[in-house]
Amino acid sequence: MHRSEALAALAGTAHPSLAVRPLGALSERGVTIELPEPADLLGVEWERPSGARIELRFRTGADASWSPWASAGAHGHGAEEAPAHAAPLIGDPIWAGGARLVQARARPALTQARLHIVDVSAGVGARRQALALGPLAVAAAMPRAVPVLAAGPGQPPIIARRAWAQGVARPRVAPGYGAVQMAFVHHTQNPNGYGRGEVPAMLRAIYAFHRYVNGWNDIGYNFAIDLYGRIFEARAGGIDEPVVGAQAGGYNLVSTGVAVLGSFMDTPISPAARRSLQRLLAWKLALHGLPAEGRVTVRVNPAGARYARFPAGAHVSLRRIAGHRDGDSTDCPGNALYGRLPAIGRRVRRLAGPVVRATLMLLPPPPPVSAPAGESPAEARTLLGSLLRLDGTPVDGARVLIQARTVSRRGEVVGEQTLGEAMTDVTGAWSLPVSLAASPGGSSLRALCIAPAPLGASVSEPLVVPAAVSLTQPAAPEPSPPAAAPLAR
């Protein structure tokens, strides 16, 4: 490809394209497949057995060397929706960056195996495209995600989803929201030797595999971190929100998921990636009022239990910062990274400092009041909540913003409209009178509490109200978050 063609390809990012290559019966002897076009990402689908060990390796051409073997077997991710029928098994997608030759092997033998091929570089090969562009591949402005909320050690720079999605990776539907009670750490099984310029294409390819091969609504992970320490917003729905991902089957409704791009069975993550992982977890957990260490008891969602290590409906105790393998049947996040999680948790606790937890509830309605015929009366209710340190100490004089979530473009644009404001008292409590009016869509509310330094911000779990909500006091002015800015390269 000429440099001018590569520049044109970058300027007009290609929509992902997918193809399927039948492999038939796949055994330990393996097969070699020559592809007519470069493949940026590869994954295997098969019928049985579920515990098969599947590996892929590849090279970009006849003169190139083979990559190391990469594990492409079952992964234990999965959405919370149960499949309507016996679904085929789909393994981890493997980043190839433009492979032309692929070798696949399995132990024990597989039946009816198929190779899924993802191209996100219009037949050029993502690695070749990044190399052709050189510094231009990473020099484009990488906008930061908003809002910026100073929880824990402060919000780290998070690259906005649009920087990698580039208008061609739309979610299928608007996101779902749960409650963050813990965090799962993942790796992606991608070979580690990728360049900076490949990462946006890598995320688009993972999105395409998750969306069109797995059939999920969006990329599975909430966040992704590359070997260079850059943090990316992954699944749409808001970095500060409890977005339900497809990153830990059985637990997606109660967790957030962070994937480090690479394979860490034997190789440790880079120091830059480790520091960013620690900073991100310290911020995200503190924002939702959670300690970094200790354990939490969560229920295995029956809809996603096919991936879990525990029975459907079981109440299991997991670490606040868990490896994917703690909850699901998988080797993820790799032995080397998994072994570092206790130390990472201790570092996250030190970074987070004192953590506060915000609550929000709606008092029951008063006795009904009659209204003129044909009118639906607005209902007077009271919102109340508290802001306490994790040891129960109240936080006095904290600003409380009552916010309603707004979602557009299937979660690619999410905002919080501030409806009103309160202040915590000496007991850490606050209350606000509200008026509820019938509304088909209802409202999702949260309390954003901004405590005096050094405590910072904390958000309550969402409160879903089947009505339109208005405050009986004037709305507070919208807070002005710091403007988005390009990341320093």
d(CA 190, CA 221): 15
pLDDT value at residue 438: 81
Alpha helices in 255-304, H assignment, sequence order: 271-287
d(CA 386, CA 396): 10
Could you please state the CATH topology (level 3) that the domain comprising 357-369+376-471 is classified under. Immunoglobulin-like (2.60.40)
227-273 confidence digits (pLDDT tens): 999 999 999 999 999 999 999 999 999 999 999 999 999 999 999 99
Could you state, in chain order, the average pLDDT of each consecutive group of 10 residues for the chain (489 residues)?
A: 44 83 92 94 91 92 85 78 71 94 94 94 93 69 92 97 95 97 95 93 97 96 98 98 96 98 95 98 98 97 90 97 95 96 98 97 80 65 96 97 96 95 98 89 94 94 91 55 37
Query: 392 is written with which tokens?
Result: 């129960």
Residue 269 identity: I
d(CA 72, CA 44): 7
Domain 141-354: assigned CATH number: 3.40.80.10
Q: In sequence order, what are the residues at sequence separation of 6 or more whose Cβ sits closer than 8 angstroms to the Cβ of residue 356?
A: 289, 387, 388, 389, 390, 395, 398, 449, 451, 455, 456, 458
Spell out the SS3 assignment of 68-82. Answer: CCEECCCCCCCCCCC
115-173 confidence digits (pLDDT tens): 999 999 999 999 999 888 876 656 556 899 999 999 999 999 999 999 999 999 999 99
pLDDT value at residue 77: 79
For the chain, give every domain's residue range: 3-119, 141-354, 357-369+376-471
pTM: 0.91
Considering Cα of 25, then 47, then 311, then 81, what sign does the dihedral take? Answer: positive
d(CA 220, CA 210): 7
CATH classification (class only), 3-119: mainly beta
d(CA 70, CA 264): 11
* Domain 141-354 identical in fold to domain 357-369+376-471: no
